[in-house]
Amino acid sequence: EGGAARGHARRHSGPIESSAKLDTGHHVPSVGQLTPPLLLREATVNFRLKSFVGCDIGGTLSKIVFFEPFDCKRPEIKRRCDFLKSATTYGKTGRRDPKLEIERWGGRFHFLQFQTNHLDAAVNLLKAHSAHHEFADSSVPVTGGGAYKYEKFLQSELRMGVHKVDELTCLLTGLNFALEHVPDECFFLEHKGPGQLPHRRAHSMAGVFPYLLVNIGSGVSILRVDSAKEFKRVGGSCLGGGTYWGLCRLMLGAKSFKEAMSLGTQGNHHAVDMLVGDIYGGDYGRFNLKASTVASAFGKLVMDEEMKVWAITTETKTETKNKKNTNEVTNKQTQDIKKENTPTTSKKKKATTNK
């Protein structure tokens, strides 16, 4: 989901098209080697937080970042932080990820997310714990389309002021901050040859402008960035993260975004994707394309035999699941009928009477 609020989750940005020169002599450590305390250059940042909470209400997910000062002297801020830290899951879709916490500037940054269509449930949760009073008469910076769509709702339910921040401006500001203050934030992948894993190498920030910023959220926006403050939208696509989740819900019955992501690790895409090897019978050496490279996503489904196998597999799984559910219902009904029709014996009555 778009916006600077999710920048914390990106230890590195993706490949950026640019006219800048490449610094091919510098190896970049892997994501696993970078922990939050090592990310930011200490001496380069000097600012004062205007708010302790920031929100990004996207089309699919809503993200919240809140800052917990170590020496907080304002009781309302402390109560707010204590409530948010009291759990790592909230309702059906809300969760806080302690692994993303960053300690900087005399405090700790915490990050939460939940499905945007559960925004009313999130507000009700705050009310149920009387935590909504902590947001009353305060102004919170909010970005994303939800800053406009839900402004009146938040104002009326939480008595909270909504300071709207343009999504693309916020995204660009957050990215430029990361590029300036996070060492090796910009990198490229160098592939030396077949059978070798690509190496990450730092991208020199000298002369980085202009560059293309591809922002993949529920949909996709492509921006041309000419300077720290100049940019324009040059393209986009309606196929994005929302498309993936929508297909998972439609075809596989996924009930949450987390479940949809989990399903992506279980399947075998070779059963439906047409690979280079399916076309050439092996590698395509001239262009260094391995046989396992996807040539056409879902391409095998246009061929009758593969489509038939896929359909049978899907039907079998569905039938097995339905049969299991039917058996469970039947067994329960049988037990209920037996229970209702079991007579109380006269012997038991006599024994009770004699006692």
- Residues known to be catalytic: 167
Give the span between the Cα atoms of 323 and 202, in whole angstroms.
Answer: 55
Q: What's the CA gap between 270 and 277, in Å, rounded?
A: 11
Radius of gyration (C-alpha) of the chain in whole angstroms: 27
For 52, what's the count of Cα atoms within 13 Å in the CB-facing half-sphere? 19
**Burial category of 213 from C-beta neighbours within 10 Å (exposed 0-12, middle 13-18, buried 19 and up):** buried
